[in-house]
Chain A
Amino acid sequence: MHRGALALVALLAAATGGGCVSVSGLSVMSRSTALERQANAELPQQTGELGQAALSPGPEAIPREQLATSGEAPGLGVASKLVAEAETDADRVDALLVGGCVGESSDGTLQTTPSRCALDVDPDAVAQLVGRENVHRRQVWRYLEARAPKTDPGRVREQWRSAHLQQVVCGGLVEGPEGKWAPKSCASPDEAAQAEAVE
Chain B
Amino acid sequence: MSGRRGLHPRWLRPRWLRASLALAALALVGLVASGSPRAAAQQASSEDELATRVPVRLTAGASDELMGALATGPDGPRALYFVSDARGTKDLYVQKPVQSAAKQLFDALGDVAAPRLSPDGRSIAYIGYTRDATGDACVRALADLETERCLTGPDTAELEVVWLDGGARLGVLSRTGMQAGFVLRSFPAAGGTPTVLAKRDAIGLARSPDGRWLAFVTVTPRQDQVGVAFASRVGKGVHVARLSEVSNAAADLVYTPPLPGVSGFPAFSPDGRYLYFSQYLNDTNGDGVIDGSDHSVIERVRFDPSRRDPFGPEPPEQLTSARWDCHYPSASGETLLMTCSRRGSLDLYTLPLDGAVPDAWDAPRLRGELEVARDLSTRLLLANRLLAKLDAPAARLPVLRQIVWMHLSLGEFEAAIYYAHSIERETAGPSSTQAASAQAAPGADARWAGLMVELAEHRRADRGLARGELSSAYIRQERARLDRIRAAEGELPTATRSVRPTTRDASPLGECRPTDIPGLAKLVQSEILDDLGDKAGALAALRAVSLEQLSDRYTLRLAGERAAHLYGLLADRPAWLAALRTLALHPALGEAEHIAQAHAFTVTLLAGLARGRARGAAIERARATAPDGSALALLLDVEAALNDLRPDGSNEDAVRARIFDLYKADHDPEHRRALALTTINDAARRGNEYLEYQFTTTWASGVRHADPERKYAESLYRTVVLERAYGELSDGHLKEAAAYFFQATRNTDALDPHIGFIETRLAEGQSIAALRAFYAERFKDAPAAPEHRFVEAYLTARGLAGVAGDDAHASAVAEVERLLREVSKAMPRRLEVRHLWGYTLQQAALRTGSRAQAASALRHYELALDLARDRPRARAAILEALGELQASLGEHRAAVASFVRRARLPFPRPASELALRLSLARSLFHTRAPCRGREEAAGALAFLDARPALGGYRASALDRLAFAHLTCGEPAEAARRYAELERALTGAAGTPINRFKAALALGSASLAAGEPAKAAEALRRARALLDAHPDLEARAPEHALVGRFPYPHARYAVLVDGLLASALVGTGDRDGAGRALARRLDGLETIFKRSDADEDLLDIARTHLRLAALARAAGRPTEAVAQLEAGLARADAYDERTGSTVTPTRLELIRAYAEARLFGDLPAKTYHRDLAADLSSALDFVARFRNPDWREDRLRFALYLTLARLHAGTGVAGAASAPQAQR
Q: Mark A132-143, 1 if CB is under 8 A from B, else 0.
A: 111111011011
Pairwise interchain contact A62-B726, C-beta atoms closer than 8 A: yes
> Interface stretch among B516-524, B609-617, B1072-1080, B1154-1162?
B609-617
Of A12, A38, A81, the residue contacting B374 (CB under 8 A) is A81
What B residues does A78 contact at CB under 8 A?
Answer: 46-50, 374-375, 712, 715
A35 to B470: give the CA distance in the assembly, Å: 65
In the complex with contacts A64-B726, A70-B905, A79-B50, A1-B85 CB distance below 8 A: yes
A2 proximal to B (CB < 8 A): yes
Pairwise interchain contact A191-B6, C-beta atoms closer than 8 A: yes
What A residues does B832 contact at CB under 8 A?
Answer: 58
In the complex with contacts A53-B914, A62-B726, A74-B871 CB distance below 8 A: yes
Within 8 A of B (CB), among A167-183: 167-171
**A-B contacts besides A54-B915, A75-B870, 9 pairs, CB < 8 Å:** A10-B234, A20-B111, A32-B928, A36-B922, A39-B997, A56-B839, A61-B759, A77-B46, A170-B608
Pairwise interchain contact A59-B881, C-beta atoms closer than 8 A: no
B468 proximal to A (CB < 8 A): yes
A95 to B379: give the CA distance in the assembly, Å: 24
A162 to B107: give the CA distance in the assembly, Å: 66
B1194 proximal to A (CB < 8 A): no
A22, A24, A38, A198 interface centre (most CB from chain B within 10 Å): A22
A136 to B539: give the CA distance in the assembly, Å: 13
In the complex with contacts A5-B346, A90-B568, A61-B873 CB distance below 8 A: yes
What B residues does A75 contact at CB under 8 A?
Answer: 1-2, 46-47, 684, 870
> Interface stretch among B73-81, B156-164, B1086-1094?
B156-164
B983 proximal to A (CB < 8 A): no
What B residues does A191 contact at CB under 8 A?
Answer: 6, 610-611, 647
Residue of B nearest to A143 (CB): B535
Q: Mark B715-757, 1 if CB is under 8 A from A, else 0.
A: 1100110010011011000000000000000000000100110
What B residues does A17 contact at CB under 8 A?
Answer: 111, 129
A33 to B846: give the CA distance in the assembly, Å: 18
Residue of A nearest to B467 (CB): A131
Pairwise interchain contact B953-A79, C-beta atoms closer than 8 A: no
Pairwise interchain contact A20-B89, C-beta atoms closer than 8 A: yes
In the complex with contacts A15-B229, A195-B7, A140-B681 CB distance below 8 A: no
Pairwise interchain contact A82-B291, C-beta atoms closer than 8 A: no
What A residues does B390 contact at CB under 8 A?
Answer: none
What A residues does B157 contact at CB under 8 A?
Answer: 15-16
- 10 smallest A-B Cβ distances: which pairs? A77-B46, A131-B467, A10-B292, A18-B129, A132-B468, A63-B730, A18-B111, A59-B873, A163-B571, A53-B911
A31 to B838: give the CA distance in the assembly, Å: 30
B664 proximal to A (CB < 8 A): no
Pairwise interchain contact A37-B1047, C-beta atoms closer than 8 A: yes
What B residues does A171 contact at CB under 8 A?
Answer: 3
What B residues does A2 contact at CB under 8 A?
Answer: 64, 66, 341, 344-346
Pairwise interchain contact A38-B1034, C-beta atoms closer than 8 A: yes
Pairwise interchain contact B905-A11, C-beta atoms closer than 8 A: no
In the complex with contacts A41-B994, A194-B648, A82-B4 CB distance below 8 A: no
> Interface stretch among B494-502, B793-801, B1100-1108?
B793-801
> Interface stretch among B268-276, B672-680, B1165-1173?
B672-680
B814 proximal to A (CB < 8 A): no
Of A9, A53, A83, A198, the residue contacting B292 (CB under 8 A) is A9
Pairwise interchain contact A86-B376, C-beta atoms closer than 8 A: yes
Within 8 A of B (CB), among A122-153: 127-128, 130-137, 139-140, 142-144, 146
Q: Mark B693-710, 1 if CB is under 8 A from A, else 0.
A: 000000000000000000
A74 to B45: give the CA distance in the assembly, Å: 11
Pairwise interchain contact A139-B203, C-beta atoms closer than 8 A: no
Q: Mark B602-641, 1 if CB is under 8 A from A, else 0.
A: 0010011111100000000000000000000000000000
Within 8 A of A (CB), among B67-87: 67, 85, 87
Of A11, A35, A53, the residue contacting B232 (CB under 8 A) is A11
In the complex with contacts A46-B956, A80-B716, A83-B596, A51-B234 CB distance below 8 A: no
Pairwise interchain contact B46-A76, C-beta atoms closer than 8 A: yes
Pairwise interchain contact A39-B596, C-beta atoms closer than 8 A: no
Q: Mark B960-976, 1 if CB is under 8 A from A, else 0.
A: 10010011000000000
B916 proximal to A (CB < 8 A): yes
What A residues does B909 contact at CB under 8 A?
Answer: 53, 60
B133 proximal to A (CB < 8 A): yes
> Interface stretch among B206-214, B765-773, B984-992, B1006-1014?
B984-992
Pairwise interchain contact B230-A14, C-beta atoms closer than 8 A: yes
What A residues does B129 contact at CB under 8 A?
Answer: 17-20
Residue of A nearest to B795 (CB): A57
Pairwise interchain contact B203-A12, C-beta atoms closer than 8 A: yes
B293 proximal to A (CB < 8 A): yes
B1035 proximal to A (CB < 8 A): yes
Residue of A nearest to B683 (CB): A76
Q: Mark B366-397, 1 if CB is under 8 A from A, else 0.
A: 00000001111001000000000000000000
Pairwise interchain contact B755-A59, C-beta atoms closer than 8 A: yes
Pairwise interchain contact B989-A58, C-beta atoms closer than 8 A: no
A188 proximal to B (CB < 8 A): yes
A32 to B91: give the CA distance in the assembly, Å: 30
Pairwise interchain contact B681-A12, C-beta atoms closer than 8 A: no
Q: Within the complex, what minimum Cβ distance (angstroms) separates A27 from chain B?
A: 9
Within 8 A of A (CB), among B169-201: 173, 175, 182
What A residues does B468 contact at CB under 8 A?
Answer: 128, 131-136
Pairwise interchain contact B727-A57, C-beta atoms closer than 8 A: no
In the complex with contacts A38-B1047, A84-B373, A194-B926 CB distance below 8 A: no
A115 proximal to B (CB < 8 A): no
B687 proximal to A (CB < 8 A): yes
What A residues does B107 contact at CB under 8 A?
Answer: 22, 24-25
Pairwise interchain contact A54-B916, C-beta atoms closer than 8 A: yes
Pairwise interchain contact B374-A84, C-beta atoms closer than 8 A: yes
In the complex with contacts A60-B873, A65-B10, A76-B716, A71-B4 CB distance below 8 A: yes
Residue of A nearest to B952 (CB): A46
A144 to B874: give the CA distance in the assembly, Å: 53
Pairwise interchain contact A65-B674, C-beta atoms closer than 8 A: no
B5 proximal to A (CB < 8 A): yes
B599 proximal to A (CB < 8 A): yes
Within 8 A of A (CB), among B406-445: 406, 409-411
Pairwise interchain contact A61-B376, C-beta atoms closer than 8 A: no
Pairwise interchain contact B998-A41, C-beta atoms closer than 8 A: yes
Pairwise interchain contact B612-A188, C-beta atoms closer than 8 A: yes
Pairwise interchain contact B113-A9, C-beta atoms closer than 8 A: yes
A73 proximal to B (CB < 8 A): yes
Pairwise interchain contact A76-B680, C-beta atoms closer than 8 A: yes
Pairwise interchain contact A13-B608, C-beta atoms closer than 8 A: no
7 sample A-B contacts, Cβ–Cβ < 8 Å, listed by A number: A7-B291, A42-B993, A46-B956, A50-B956, A136-B530, A194-B6, A198-B9
What A residues does B922 contact at CB under 8 A?
Answer: 36
Pairwise interchain contact B229-A13, C-beta atoms closer than 8 A: yes
Pairwise interchain contact A79-B113, C-beta atoms closer than 8 A: no
What A residues does B873 contact at CB under 8 A?
Answer: 59-62, 67, 74
B358 proximal to A (CB < 8 A): no
Within 8 A of A (CB), among B88-123: 88-91, 107-111, 113-114
Pairwise interchain contact A79-B374, C-beta atoms closer than 8 A: yes
Within 8 A of B (CB), among A106-125: none
In the complex with contacts A5-B64, A39-B1000, A77-B46, A15-B716 CB distance below 8 A: no
What B residues does A134 contact at CB under 8 A?
Answer: 468
Pairwise interchain contact B1042-A33, C-beta atoms closer than 8 A: yes
What A residues does B612 contact at CB under 8 A?
Answer: 188-190
In the complex with contacts A61-B759, A74-B719, A140-B535, A37-B1045 CB distance below 8 A: yes
Pairwise interchain contact B533-A9, C-beta atoms closer than 8 A: no
Pairwise interchain contact B677-A137, C-beta atoms closer than 8 A: no
